[in-house]
Structure 1
Amino acid sequence: MNKGELVKAVAERTKITLKEADAVISAVFDEIQDTVAGGEKVTLVGFGTFEARKRAEREGRNPKTNEKMIIPATVAPAFSAGKTFKEAVLTNNK
């Protein structure tokens, strides 16, 4: 499912226009992105948690030359699924 399909599904489920659904979904995504980029977590009970996770500096290898190199520390966005979400996925994929 892409964003357009999500907008259409939300519009049909909530009986609002496609334009209104797109505005709401875009606002939700923007707010999650801004909050996580600001260093805070976004927790949606039962669905999951969005957060920024720090990755430590580590040693890696260049796959072409097999030469050792240092991969610098970084911060990356992460998502942890909540219990209800995990159970729904497990139940529907048996």
Structure 2
Amino acid sequence: MNKSELIKALSEEKKMHVDEATNVVGAFVDSVKEALLRGDRVEIRGFGS
């Protein structure tokens, strides 16, 4: 699953507009990036399983 597929799935599952789902996924990715840039460890248990 790529980013655009994740956005589509989120918008369908939660019945939200694609633009809103795009913002949610973007905010999530930005938060993870910022944490990694600070040297923090990012762990998302159960993700991808």
**TM-score, length basis structure 2:** 0.81
Point out where structure 2 has 5 or more consecutive residues left out of the alignment: none
Greater relative contact order (CA < 8 Å, ≥ 6 in sequence): 2
**Cα RMSD over matched residues?**
1.6
1:19-38 alignment, distance < 5 Å: 19-38=19-38
**Larger relative strand fraction:** 1
**Larger relative helix fraction:** 2
- Indicate the SS of the match to 2:16: coil
**TM-score, length basis structure 1:** 0.47
Point out where structure 1 has 5 or more consecutive residues left out of the alignment: 48-80, 86-94
% of aligned pairs identical? 37
